[in-house]
Amino acid sequence: MVYKLIILGSGPAGLTAAIYAGRAGFAPLVVEGRLPGGQPMLTTKVENYPGFPEGIDGPQLVAKIKEQAKKFRARFLTGEAVRVDFKAKPKKIFLDNNQLLEALSVIIATGTMPRPLGLPEEKKLIGKGISTCAICDAPFYRGKTVAVVGGGDTALTDALALAQVAKKVYLIHRRNEFRASQAIQKKIFSQPKIQVLYNKVVVKIVGQERLEKIVLTDVLERTRKELVIDGLFLAIGSFPNTEFLANQVQLDQEGFIKVKNNVFTSVEGVFAAGDVVDPFYKQLSVATGLGCMAGVRAVEYLRNQDAKIKYQKVKMRGKKKKKE
């Protein structure tokens, strides 16, 4: 079976694209990806999305958008794209379960994943004291001492969430000021459980079976300090999920998809939306806006393709009649 439109990723961008394509009658297939629902699934409360003055839980918001996409006949498939062939006609998508999909048009909305520190013990201790999801793992650290690394909205939100259950939260940032919104910063400085450590970098992780402590370096004074902690939460940015697109669409140096007019990739019939094209804003409302654009453009492309096919058929019928 050749699908008219396949959407890779089921975060806000992918789901919004599905709504617009579905309303236009193209019943897209959404491949849910490695994190079904995208980054909002890791967020307890979204306070800056229009229409929810009291805020809304991330998973709850995603569920509402998905329900809306299903209403317009979007279909969903569990799996993750591991390789594509966009030079083929139709375009081919290979999933991690060895399934092969074919499509006339594709929207890439695969989002981003948390960036690691890159230290030797880090990978070994993921899930054993090191986490990239405070919302997921906070309950395991009730009454314990934890640290969060980062200086953006995500890091500060994680610290606030952890402060609800932990005994103490260290917030470690390599600069002397946060880049997070002022509203979140005010909450941080009014939370007595949180101790901010500016100008500090984690240079060593210590632990065998579980995390035991970390070593910090002061970037100004070049002094070292040890912190005995039970949990370390990483919130130092993210990298795009585009490794499966190598040599298929143009990417920038960091791996984000290069686009023209917001959503057009370097391949005809292939569009991109959401954090996978957005190294700067990384906001839910931006992702849904780009998802809307990608859905509209994909529909436009498919309608043009349908019109070309109909024209070719009419042209062929005309030639047959002349011969007769």
Query: How far, in Å, CA of 9 to CA of 157, rounded?
Result: 24
Residue pair 111/38 in contact by the 8 Å Cβ criterion: yes
The residues, ordered by sequence, that sit 6+ positions from 75 with a Cβ below 8 Å of its Cβ are 27, 28, 29, 30
- Active-site entry in 137, 153, 158, 278: 137
CA distances from 185 to 47, 167, 170, 265, 315 (A): 14, 20, 14, 37, 65
The residues, ordered by sequence, that sit 6+ positions from 78 with a Cβ below 8 Å of its Cβ are 32, 36, 97
Query: How far, in Å, CA of 81 to CA of 248, rounded?
Result: 13
57 is catalytic: no
137 is catalytic: yes
- Active-site entry in 96, 133, 218, 292: 133
DSSP 115-155: PP---TTTGGGBTTTEES-HHHHGGGGTTSEEEEE--SHHH
136 is catalytic: yes
Tokens of residue 40, six digits: 């909002």
Q: Which residues are known to be catalytic?
A: 133, 136-137
